[in-house]
Structures are given as C-alpha cells and as structure tokens.
C-alpha cells in the first residue's frame, strides 16, 4: 500500500486561473507550467513528452461528484472527488456501517476494495474487483450527466470557459456536495446529520 502522503498532491504550484473547462467533454485544459489537454484536443508526441514519469497526463480535474471543485490528478493515488464530497461520503458511509459511501479514490486500496488472496477464494476476489469497476463506471456516468446539466447554460458562450468563471457560476461548497450526493441517490443523507443538512439547506437557499 502506498504511504498516506501519496494520497494527496499539493495545489501549491498550480495557477487555477490558467485552466479552462471544455464545455464539450467536461475536462480541464490549458494550465501552466505544463499544457493540459482535454479529450477534444489532439495528443501529440511532443505534448506527451512533458508528462513522462507521471502516472496521469494531467494536473487537475473537476470533482467526480459535485463537478464544481477540483482535484489534483498526477498519480494513481490521487482522489477523484474533492475534499467536501469525500467528507460527505465518509460521514454517510460511517452512519450506514461502511468505510465510505462511495468509491472516490482512484486506486482500489483507497476505497477499501481489497480482498486478501490468502483468505479468500478466487471467485470472491474477482467479484470484489468487478463490483469496484462497476461502481466507478456508474460514478463516471453520473459525472457526465451532472456536467451536462451545469454546462448547458454556458455553452452559448463558446467552446470553453475559464475555470474561475465556472466556479464563480457553480461555487464549490459543502452544501453543493450534499446536494450532489443526495441526487446521485445511492443512499440518502440521514436527516439527523444536522451539520450536513444545514449546509445543504443554506446552499439551496442561495442557489434559488
């Protein structure tokens, strides 16, 4: 298992103002000091050269769940969801007796989806891996649906918008994370989790 320090990549050297959101594919582009390309842009050998030695050819991505906040993406140990969404997943998961409600880590170890081969049959191990892949695919389908919902009113502006403009329109917050989690619908946020429900109530009040 990778050391915990590898699970978080610092934002320090990234200039968020240099990134843009592609309104077609939903991926981030531009950036500095290295150029990041979305799925709509060609990937040339010269472009790929700058990412040699890095697990993933990008520095930043939109959160998998709320699609508002950002996460760093350099390593296979990077998170797929922002800190607020991970907090909601953890709190709700623990209430239902799970480690976390959603698999928001890029690596299966981060999601607890590991079965020790010496204590399990091959069938059990295979079933665990299949379930992990399925849950990840379902989340990515959600991300595309949620992105399209948020991007629709911005698409007349052009093919992309600056990330800072995206976040000005769709501000990340704990309330937004609770709202996204609730609408994703795997399991509801219990009403007695007052801090989460209050954050969502305030978010919905300001979103109207």
- Model pLDDT for residues 111-154, shown as the tens digit of each residue: 766 655 555 566 665 666 677 677 778 899 999 999 999 999 99
Q: pTM here?
A: 0.83
Question: To the nearest whole number, what is the mean pLDDT of the chain?
Answer: 84
d(CA 70, CA 64): 9
Q: How many CB atoms lie within 10 A of CB 113?
A: 18
Q: Is residue 208 part of a domain?
A: yes
Q: Is residue 205 part of a domain?
A: yes
Q: Is residue 152 part of a domain?
A: yes
Q: Is residue 161 part of a domain?
A: yes
With beta carbons less than 8 A apart as the criterion, state whether 186 and 207 touch.
no
d(CA 92, CA 193): 8
Q: Residue 4: pLDDT band by 50, 70, 90 thresholds?
A: very low
Q: Is residue 92 part of a domain?
A: yes
**160-162 sheet: strands from edge to edge:** 28-30, 19-22, 160-162
d(CA 114, CA 127): 11
Q: Is residue 1 part of a domain?
A: no
Could you read off the pLDDT of 122-133 as tens digits, one per residue?
666 566 667 767
pLDDT at 165: 96
Question: Three-state DSSP class for 139?
Answer: helix
Q: Is residue 134 part of a domain?
A: yes
Give the domain extent around 81: 13-208
The total number of structural domains that make up the chain: 1
Q: Residue 17: pLDDT band by 50, 70, 90 thresholds?
A: very high
């Amino acid at each position: 298992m990778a050391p915990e320090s590898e699970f978080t990549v610092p934002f320090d050297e990234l200039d968020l103002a240099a990134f843009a959101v592609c309104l077609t594919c939903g991926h981030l582009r531009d950036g500095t000091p290295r150029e990041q390309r979305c799925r709509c842009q060609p990937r040339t050998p010269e472009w790929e050269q700058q990412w040699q030695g890095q697990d993933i050819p990008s520095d930043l991505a939109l959160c998998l769940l709320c699609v508002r906040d950002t996460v760093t993406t350099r390593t296979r140990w990077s998170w797929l969801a922002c800190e607020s969404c991970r907090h909601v997943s953890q709190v709700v998961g623990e209430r239902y007796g799970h480690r976390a409600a959603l698999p928001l880590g890029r690596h299966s170890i981060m999601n607890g989806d590991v079965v020790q081969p010496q204590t399990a049959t091959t069938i059990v191990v295979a079933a665990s891996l299949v379930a992990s892949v399925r849950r990840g695919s379902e989340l990515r389908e959600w991300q595309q649906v949620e992105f399209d919902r948020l991007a629709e009113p911005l698409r007349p502006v052009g093919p992309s918008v600056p990330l800072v403009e995206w976040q000005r329109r769709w501000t990340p917050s704990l309330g937004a994370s609770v709202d996204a989690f609730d609408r994703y619908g795997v399991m509801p946020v219990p009403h007695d989790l007052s801090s989460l429900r209050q954050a969502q109530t305030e978010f919905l009040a300001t979103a109207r």
